[in-house]
Amino acid sequence: MTVPFKVDLTGKVAVVTGGGGVLGADFCKALAACGAKVAVLDLRQEPADKVANEIKEAGGIAIGVAANVLEKESLLAAREIVEKELGTCDILLNGAGGNNPRGTTDDEFYDGEAVKANPELKTFFDLDPKSVGFVFDLNFLGTLLPSQVFGEAMTQKKGSSIINISSMNAFTPLTKIPAYSGAKAAISNFTQWLAVYFSKAGIRVNAIAPGFLVTKQNEKLLLNEDGSYTERAAKILRNTPMERFGQPEELIGGLLFLASEQAASFITGVVLPIDGGFAAYSGV
């Protein structure tokens, strides 16, 4: 992978949860390109190994490890493998997360008449509590638990860094996705809390907040079959001052900057928007 610039992460051990995903894979490859030894953690072994093998084919050092970010015992087992193969963690990137359709409404605004006309319409009142809980746990606990498991050894090392993945939803919630928006707001708050907590232990804690990207995971929500933008996509672009969607590789510069002790040694507790100006725009 081509990175926008290189920081020196030689000898550093980077652990990336969700490393087999669309964005996680790019994060892993960027860290490896800067010299880090990368542990690619994913719920399934196959995608973790795939990314690790691609890194090794490019001349880097990586291993794939299966781990469930919602199960502490699974993370402890993963830590044992990582420390045996690569050493203790220096950089933890909490990339695991996501949404669930059952925690999403069909409507943007409640309209009683519309509900009467279409009883199948899923409103706020129909949200499944278990699905809402799953989305919140996947994002928030899926960040807290890896920070507990890998952060303990990081307190014994100088220049360690935890980087979380927040979202535009953390600043202003989007319609339809209350569970995901609330979970990402919790991530931003937790990032600040953990930054203070670890401030005297030598661990910097920051987050990046990606704006709107078109990936394989969301392209059906943003693009029609003919390639034109959906109504929701057009609304996003109208409220993005740069008037375009971001590219996954445009997250890499912010990630590497925050990961580098040399570049960001006095930066902690920051949530960095990478969003084309979306968070700064009032819509007027």
Q: Which residues are catalytic?
A: 180
Phi and psi angles of residue 97, each rounded to the nearest 5 degrees, phi first = 170, -175
Residue length, the chain? 284
The string of DSSP letters for the chain reads ---SS----TT-EEEEETTTSHHHHHHHHHHHHTT-EEEEEESSHHHHHHHHHHHHHTT-EEEEEE--TT-HHHHHHHHHHHHHHT-S-SEEEE------GGGS-S-SS--HHHHHH-TT---GGG--HHHHHHHHIIIIIHHHHHHHHHHHHHTTSTTEEEEEE--GGGTSPPTT-HHHHHHHHHHHHHHHHHHHHTTTTTEEEEEEEE--B--TTTHHHHB-TTSPBPHHHHHHHHT-TT-S-B-GGGGHHHHHHHH-HHHHTT--S-EEEESTTGGG----
The phi-psi region of residue 187 (left if phi > 0; otherwise alpha if psi is between -120 and 50; otherwise beta) is alpha
Contact between 123 and 105 (Cβ < 8 Å): yes
